[in-house]
Amino acid sequence: MAEVEAEWRPGPSLTSVDGILRYVRESASSIFHPVGTCKMGTGPDAVEDDELRVHGNGGLRVVDRSIVPTLISGNTNAAAIRIGEKGADSMLQ
């Protein structure tokens, strides 16, 4: 196993708390799979119906993982594919 000889990021010259916080704010990003921002349902907080149509917006549909209420414990790829298939089927009818 190779030994670590020097700090790569943010670098040994960064020593202040403010500098470290600034580095984190500027370089951090989400590696998670955001879900649940466009709830499907009939309640007052629901964005779309079970045919993926946005309430009160004619033909607008949201066909992505945002309709999933909570993050599943596995990869979200299969859910995204199925939601896309459901959306395509709904639009073709």
Q: Which are the catalytic amino acids?
A: 33
Q: How far apart are CA 52 and CA 22, in angstroms?
A: 40
Name, in order, each residue with C-beta under 8 angstroms of 38's C-beta and a sequence gap of 6 or more. 47, 48, 54, 62, 64, 66, 67
54: left (phi over 0), alpha (psi -120 to 50) or beta: beta
- Residue 40 · residue 52 · CB < 8 Å: yes
